A and B are shown apart, each in its own frame.
Chain A
Amino acid sequence: MPEKKPSSVAGSTSRKIEPYLYLAPATIFVILIFLYPIVDIIRTSLLQNNPNGIKTFGFTNYTLVFQDPVFWQALGNNGKLLLSVPILTVLSLLVAILLFEHVRGWLVYRGIIFMPYILAVPVVGTTFVYLLGLNGIVNTLLHAAGLGFLVQDWLGSVKWVLPSISVVIIYREMGFGVVLFLARLMSLEKEILEAAEIDGANFWQKHVYVTLPQLSGVIEFFVVVELITMLSWVFAYVFTMTGGGPGFASTVMEFYIWKHAFAFRSPGIASSLAVVLLAVTTVLIVLQLRLRRRSLEEPA
């Protein structure tokens, strides 16, 4: 939206410092909770213990981290989770368009499909541990459907644990996507879609060529938010569903940082891991800045 010009205020000294007084409390929190910790992990990550007991600055922690196969595995696991973002986006779009297209009961459907998003991750995780267990409902259903050969220990198998966690994340995040896309769809001008229908476009033509291009902004936004989620907010899923296992098959960066910081008590390694994760998320910060600023400047 166009930025309204703030009303001009006279330039006396008290007026000049006034905005900073309003910002002061927020600034204290930001320094304490974000800026100080970031500076501190960078410093700690560079501190190394020498044999003579004196601490010096160097890259030992990073060397150790980069030689650690579990680090690469954790980073790769985050990477694999990123792959579920396209699936999540397409499914959310599909359901949103169906809700948009059809008549009766859309509010009820929306209410139900959005609900998983308000459930806490530990609650979702705990429930899915039972659903996906060896004798859980998923396997029971597979047996009943004569698909017994597909039965798996979904969270206990190295091969299936990450796809299973992805499914649970998609389960919860889809509600957000559907609601977001539906809201944007409802703000589209109906005349254009009707014109396409009159011109004889079928369901898919209409949505692929008319609807989707108009949704590009909100799709881009959703994708960035979900990429951030897959890197920065999956700890609770892993912690409640698998504890990073079997082995390290579902260990993600957040979980590995937490392990090093609080279970292995190696702050240097934990800090180096945190710096690496921070560096990865910096790419997303750039994307986020581009998107958010644009959306503030022009109507969505």
Chain B
Amino acid sequence: MKAPNSPRQGKNLLASIPNQVILVFFSLLAIFPVYYMVVTAFKTRPDWLHDQFGLPNPFTLQNITGALQEGEIPVWFGNSLIVTIASLLVSTAVSALAAYAIARFRFRGRAFYFNMMIALMVIPPAVLILPLFVLMVNINLINTLPSVIIIYCGLLIPFSVYLLVSFFRSLPPELFDAAAIDGCNNLDIFWRITLPLSTPALVTLIVVNALFVWNELLIALVFLQDQSRKTLMPGLTLFKGHFTVNEPLIMAGTLIATIPMILLYLFGQRLFVEGLVAGAVK
């Protein structure tokens, strides 16, 4: 899909004022909860009780330092990083291989396999957790990071295969034929031609999938029950339970948990947008 650089040029400034007003309204709604989280994280509790709207007065870092010391937030943060990176590495590699087979070869069951992937994108994780829990107990992986890494990989594969197949199919087949004539085998073609040409698709896929893994709650909650093994999202719900009477501290925790995704968004907004749109429209 071609995306031109800008929307249509409007007629005149005056006529666009009602539109501007509506857009400002929606923008304020979108940004207010984020504003609230950020300012609350830097308020003292008396200040927060006195005024929930305004900027911090006095400004304090005690919630941030408190959240970093009191809870096990640094440990959970590290666990989230490990789980996210490992799931992305494995699922991307596995999905790229499968997508390459579907896009490049003709074989029995190809259409069935691809349709199965599309169908699996709909399955609710809640349906799968009980058998997977028993399985993880039986193979002694319960309460370990690999248990959730394996599950996340599985959950990411259908969408990743779908997205990569549609991208691989858009590459010119002449390239592959030329490489084949030059004596490259299929694995060479995959490694040296398909993957390098697919860097934009791979990057958008990784960004979108990182968002999913970093933010996931249900699987992490069920499979990581030890305090020190938790990732950030179930950790935060625990943290929230312990400090119910200290709202600024809780907001500091949620802010810390959100920072990596906000950074990723600030630097790669385009990637998020492209990845989500490509998954839909391609």
Contact = CB atoms under 8 A, between A and B. Distances in A.
Interface in A143-197: 171, 174-176, 179-180, 182-187, 190, 193
Interface stretch (A29-37, A48-56, A79-87): A29-37
Given A120-B261, A295-B281, A29 B153 contact: yes
A1 to B, nearest CB: 6
B79 to A, nearest CB: 15
Contacts of B36: 127, 130-131, 137
Contact of B236 (A101, A123, A235): A123
Given A4-B173, A32-B150, A232-B126, A289 B211 contact: no
A214 interface: no
Interface in B46-104: 52-53, 93-95, 97-98, 100-104
Given A19-B105, A23-B101, A29-B154, A112 B31 contact: yes
Given A102-B19, A289-B115, A300-B282, A122 B95 contact: no
B107 A284 contact: no
B127 A278 contact: yes
A216 to B, nearest CB: 13
A261 B132 CA distance: 12
Given A1-B170, A40-B131, A235 B126 contact: yes
B280 interface: yes
Contact of B107 (A20, A267, A299): A20
A295 B258 CA distance: 34
Contacts of A18: 101, 105, 186
Interface in B103-136: 103-107, 110, 113, 115-135
B276 A121 contact: no
Contacts of B117: 30
Nearest to B119: A285
A22 interface: yes
A127 B132 contact: no
B216 to A, nearest CB: 8
Contacts of B203: none
B4 A115 contact: no
B254 A126 contact: yes
A19 B101 CA distance: 5
A249 interface: no
A268 to B, nearest CB: 10
A90 interface: no
Nearest to A176: B276
Interface string A264-296: 000100110011011001001100110011011
A37 B124 CA distance: 12
Size bracket of the A interface: 35 or more
Contact of B155 (A33, A41, A113, A284): A33
Contacts of B193: none
Given A41-B127, A278-B123, A239 B257 contact: no
Contacts of B53: 137, 140
B31 to A, nearest CB: 5
A111 B122 contact: no
B257 A103 contact: no
Contacts of B124: 231-233, 254, 277-278, 281
B215 interface: yes
Nearest to A31: B154
A119 B153 CA distance: 21
Interface of A: 1, 3-7, 9, 16, 18-20, 22-23, 25-27, 29-30, 32-34, 36-38, 40-41, 44, 94-95, 98-104, 106, 109-116, 118-124, 126-128, 130-131, 136-137, 140, 171, 174-176, 179-180, 182-187, 190, 193, 218, 221-222, 225, 228, 231-233, 235-236, 239-240, 253-254, 257-258, 261-262, 267, 270-271, 274-275, 277-278, 281, 284-285, 288-289, 292-293, 295-296, 299-300
Given A34-B120, A131-B33, 7 more contacts: A6-B105, A7-B176, A41-B131, A104-B13, A174-B30, A232-B122, A278-B124
